[in-house]
Amino acid sequence: MSLSVEYPDQGSPSFPPGFQWGVATASFQVEGATQERGASIWDSFCRLPGRILDGSSGQVACDHYHRFPEDVAMMVELGLSAYRFSIAWPRVLPLGYGRVNTVGLDFYDRLIDALCAAGIQPVPTLYHWDLPQALSDAGGWLSRDTAERFGDYARLVVDRFGDRVPRWITLNEPFVHMAFGYAFGVHAPGQALMLDALPVAHHQLLAHARASEVLRAAGHEVLLTNNCTPVSPVDDAPDTVAAAAAYDTLHNRLFLDPLLLGEYPDLSAYADPETGRTPLDRVIRDGDLAALRGSVDALGVNYYNPTLAAAPAPGDALPFALPDYTELFPETPLTGFGWPVVPDGLHALLTSLRDRYGPALPPVHITENGCSYPGEPDANGVVADPDRVAYLDGHLRALAEAIADGVDVRGYYAWSLLDNFEWAQGYTQRFGLVHVDFATQARTPKESFFWYRDAIARARG
């Protein structure tokens, strides 16, 4: 289904002065060069039969490790003010602790230097799901030790790069990592623990707190990025409303309440009916919540789509059901991934965060937003992707509206610069503004690339 692009008839959305325009990538999804670093849980997961849709791996990916100068040149052409990338923990610390891989540190040095020389702010994420395999073998995020190791890792990289990097993101999407990696087993490390995955939330948050302390002591700005979704009940029956609240708690509040309010939300929907306790209660220690409270200077929000919730069927393991968006709204266009395209969801999300957290909500950066659609270069090298243009246009308009409604949003990062390794989907979902031919590594900017370049220029006036 093709959306029509109505720009410029509606006029340009307006953004505050100094608003940051970026793109985002992640180490495992783009770097390749896996032999030059320690093993991560994603290397192992890719080797398991049937886990990655096209049987692929991150071995070469976009070869960003070697081709970053070409990629930075494209960022310059876009007119970006910031580039969000992630540091692969096992590239700098092959085991996650101890011996340092100087070749890995040198790579990020070169990348950061190239960005600074181009006037683009480097915004690293310390953890975008590629846990060192050795730490996973020792318990991974089920173990509290991983959080302590993360603090040491943060110290190493801030000592090395802090002279050029003022803003840091500790974690990417701890909700998705917990849910897909540890509860349902569809991402690395492939554990299907269901509610016993809840300690993964706490240990990731604690890791963030440890890193935040290190980063702030060195005078840096600290963000944590979660995947956030506005959740709506499919009807107003009390069971449905309760199911929507339970899902919202798990996806959004479990991660944001401790950071912004210093407390976990009411998790009684997930408690053992006999003991009234959840697996999270086993791992929280005195002082943990105090360390979390206020530990972000700004909040990273990744938004892709809204969520509809319904009451669970009798006997379901979880206190909610998630019906397909299109069952209720069959007119809603879908991305190549099958995700509903609902730009207003971004506005609803941001205003609901404002209403929920009030003055406790720090400035927000949209650290990911984008869509996958298939699309290959034609005979003239043109990659026409009107659906992506419409997606970006709609979401930037919704964002501008949220800003006009008083939400303090400071930046927007399109996901992603390049078509890349889309986790369990391998190379089958193309999210890039730039097409990548994975056989030759040829990069071809799509029409959306030029559209984004022009949208940034217009927004800057």
Contact set with ligand FCB (CB under 6 A): 26, 29, 172-173, 176, 227, 302, 368, 415, 422-423, 431
C-beta separation of 280 from 199 below 8 A: yes
At its nearest, how many Å lie between ligand FCB and the CB of residue 369?
9
Closest by Cα among 237, 228, 105, 210 to 151 = 210
At its nearest, how many Å lie between ligand FCB and the CB of residue 458?
26
Q: Kindly give the residue spans of alpha helices, DSSP state H, lying in 56-197.
A: 64-78, 89-92, 102-117, 133-137, 145-161, 174-176
Q: Is 375 left (phi over 0), alpha (psi -120 to 50) or beta?
A: left
At its nearest, how many Å lie between ligand FCB and the CB of residue 26?
5
Here the tokens at position 154 are 């943060």
Identified catalytic residue from 173, 221, 263, 447:
173
Query: Which CB atom, from 169 or from 215, has the smaller least distance to ligand FCB?
Result: 169
Distance CA 211, CA 153 (A): 8
Residue 390: phi and psi, rounded to 5, are -65, -40
Query: Which CB atom, from 30 or from 280, has the smaller least distance to ligand FCB?
Result: 30
DSSP structure string for 204-261: HHHHHHHHHHHHHHTT-EEEEEEE---EEESS--HHHHHHHHHHHIIIIIHHHHHHHH
Distance CA 46, CA 39 (A): 12
At its nearest, how many Å lie between ligand FCB and the CB of residue 336?
11
At its nearest, how many Å lie between ligand FCB and the CB of residue 224?
13
C-beta separation of 85 from 125 below 8 A: yes
Distance CA 141, CA 279 (A): 14
At its nearest, how many Å lie between ligand FCB and the CB of residue 172?
5
Residue 192: phi and psi, rounded to 5, are -115, 70
Query: Which CB atom, from 248 or from 422, has the smaller least distance to ligand FCB?
Result: 422
At its nearest, how many Å lie between ligand FCB and the CB of residue 373?
12
Query: Which CB atom, from 116 or from 334, has the smaller least distance to ligand FCB?
Result: 334
Distance between the two ends of the chain, CA-based, in angstroms? 32
Identified catalytic residue from 36, 213, 331, 368:
368
Three-class DSSP category at 122: strand
Query: Which CB atom, from 126 or from 289, has the smaller least distance to ligand FCB?
Result: 126
Query: Which CB atom, from 26 or from 52, has the smaller least distance to ligand FCB?
Result: 26
Query: Which CB atom, from 387 or from 422, has the smaller least distance to ligand FCB?
Result: 422
Beta-bridged to residue 20, according to DSSP, are 411
Helix 447-460 crosses helix 64-78 at what angle (to 10 degrees)?
A: 50
Query: Which CB atom, from 125 or from 249, has the smaller least distance to ligand FCB?
Result: 125
Q: Which amino acid is at 141?
A: W
Here the tokens at position 442 are 């040829």
At its nearest, how many Å lie between ligand FCB and the CB of residue 314?
32
By CB atoms closer than 10 A (0-12, 13-18, 19+), residue 190 is middle
At its nearest, how many Å lie between ligand FCB and the CB of residue 227?
5
Distance CA 316, CA 313 (A): 6
Query: Which CB atom, from 227 or from 448, has the smaller least distance to ligand FCB?
Result: 227
Q: Which amino acid is at 161?
A: F
Largest CA distance in the chain: 66
Looking at residue 340, what DSSP letter applies?
B
Judge whether 173 counts as a catalytic residue.
Answer: yes
Catalytic sites, residue numbers? 173, 368
